[in-house]
Amino acid sequence: MKQLPTRKELMSPTIDVIKQLGGSANTDEIYEKIVENLNLSDSLLEVINGKTGQSELQYNLAWVRTILKNKGILTKVGKGIWVLSENHTAEISIEKKEKIKKTEEQDADEEVSEAEKWKKEAIEIITEKLTPSSFERLIQRILREKGFIQVEITGKTGDGGIDGRGIAKINGILSFHIIFQCKRYKGKVPSSDIRDFRGAMVGRSDKGLFITTGTFTREAIREANRDGAPAIDLMDGDKICEKLKELNLGIDVELREHITVNQKWFENF
C-alpha cells in the first residue's frame, strides 16, 4: 500500500481485527493487527499528525473507534478495552449503505482532538519543563503507585543506560526484579537503543522496562520482543499519559453530571 488508508477505509478493517482477536481488543492490539493485516510500511507508520504529535495512523484509528462507538458498534470497557456490540452485524450493513454524515465526522473529530490534546500538553510539560532527574522521579512515582516496591533511581554514568531498578509484585505472592531506562525524548527510539539496554540488563535482572516520552520504531518494538532474547517491556509517551490519568497524578479529570429520568420507576406507582 503506497499511502495510508483513509478513515473511512479503516472502518471495516478495525471491525474485522476485533473479530479476529475474539470480539475484544485493546488499543495496541488493534493497531498492531491493522498494521499486519494491511501490510503498512514503516515509512507510512512514521507520518506524524500535526494536531497531536502522534502518528497519523494512530490518530485516524482513534477517530474510527470513536465513530464506531457513537454508532453503537463498539463499546469501551475497563482500561481501554474495545468490545463489539451484539448488534454490530446489523450496524455494519447499514454502514455499508450509508455515507457518514458530515456532522458525525465533525463531532468525532472534536471528540478525538480533545482526548488527545491533553496528552500532547502533558508530554510537552514533561519534556520541556522537567529536568532529566525530575522525569526519573516521576517514573519512580508511577511505578510505586502501580505496586512496585524498592524502586530506586541509580542513574550512574557509564551504567549502560540503566536509570533505576525495582521489584514488581504479582498478586502479593510472586515477584521479579526489573531494571528500567528513562528517555525524555520527542522522537522515535531506535532498535540500537533497545539492544544496548538489553546488553546492560543481562545478568542483572529478570526483566527490563524501557520508558520514553516519545515513541518506538517498528524495529525497536520487534527487537524488544525478539525470540530467544530477554523480553523488554516498552512504555511510550501515550502510555505514560494514560498511567498519569489513571493514577490521578498531575491530570485532573472533571466529570459532568448527566441526569436521566427513569420512566419505569414511576410506573410502579
Please state, for a pLDDT cut of 70, what percent of the chain lies above it.
84
- Per-residue confidence (pLDDT) for residue 94, from 0 to 100: 44
HSE, CB side, 13 Å, CA atoms: give it for residue 265: 3
* Residue 261: inside a domain: no
Rounded Cα distance between 180 and 183, Å, is 10
Tell whether 137 and 238 lie within a shared domain. yes
247 close to 253: Cβ distance less than 8 angstroms: no
Tell whether 40 and 87 lie within a shared domain. yes
Per residue in 115-162, pLDDT (tens digit) is 678 888 899 999 999 998 899 999 999 999 998 999 999 866 555 678
* Residue 227: inside a domain: yes
Of the listed ranges 50-64, 90-104, 212-226, 230-244, the one predicted with least confidence: 90-104
Mean pLDDT is highest, among 39-48, 72-81, 188-197, for: 188-197
Tell whether 193 and 123 lie within a shared domain. no
Average pLDDT for the chain = 83
Tell whether 110 and 143 lie within a shared domain. no
Tell whether 113 and 136 lie within a shared domain. no
Please state, for a pLDDT cut of 90, what percent of the chain lies above it.
32
Tell whether 110 and 161 lie within a shared domain. no
* Residue 187: inside a domain: yes
Point out the domain boundary residue: 82, 101, 127: 127
* Residue 263: inside a domain: no
CATH of the domain at 15: 1.10.10
93 close to 211: Cβ distance less than 8 angstroms: no
Stretch 220-244: mean pLDDT: 90
Provide the pLDDT confidence category of residue 97 given band limits of 50, 70 and 90: very low
Tell whether 21 and 93 lie within a shared domain. yes
- Per-residue confidence (pLDDT) for residue 107, from 0 to 100: 57
SS3 content of the chain, % helix, strand, coil (to 5): 50, 20, 35
Tell whether 45 and 12 lie within a shared domain. yes
Stretch 14-36: mean pLDDT: 91
CATH of the domain at 214: 3.40.1350.10
* CA dihedral of residues 223, 231, 40, 212 (deg, nearest 10): -80
- State yes or no: pLDDT of 228 exceeds 90: no
Point out the domain boundary residue: 127, 143, 174: 127
- State yes or no: pLDDT of 50 exceeds 90: no
Provide the pLDDT confidence category of residue 260 given band limits of 50, 70 and 90: confident
Closest among 215, 248, 251 to 234, alpha carbons compared = 215
* Residue 229: inside a domain: yes
Tell whether 196 and 104 lie within a shared domain. no
Per residue in 168-205, pLDDT (tens digit) is 888 777 888 899 999 998 888 999 999 999 988 877 88
Provide the pLDDT confidence category of residue 210 given band limits of 50, 70 and 90: very high
**How many domains is the chain built from?**
2
Q: Which domain holds residue 189?
A: 132-246
Tell whether 90 and 178 lie within a shared domain. no
Tell whether 85 and 163 lie within a shared domain. no
- Per-residue confidence (pLDDT) for residue 53, from 0 to 100: 66
Point out the domain boundary residue: 127, 153, 177: 127
Q: What are phi and psi of 150, to 5 degrees?
A: 50, 45
User: 165 vs 2, 45, 97, 154, 213, CA distance in Å?
Assistant: 43, 32, 55, 8, 19
- State yes or no: pLDDT of 76 exceeds 90: no
* Residue 12: inside a domain: yes
Mean pLDDT is highest, among 50-64, 107-121, 181-195, 243-257, for: 181-195
- Per-residue confidence (pLDDT) for residue 141, from 0 to 100: 95
176 close to 204: Cβ distance less than 8 angstroms: no
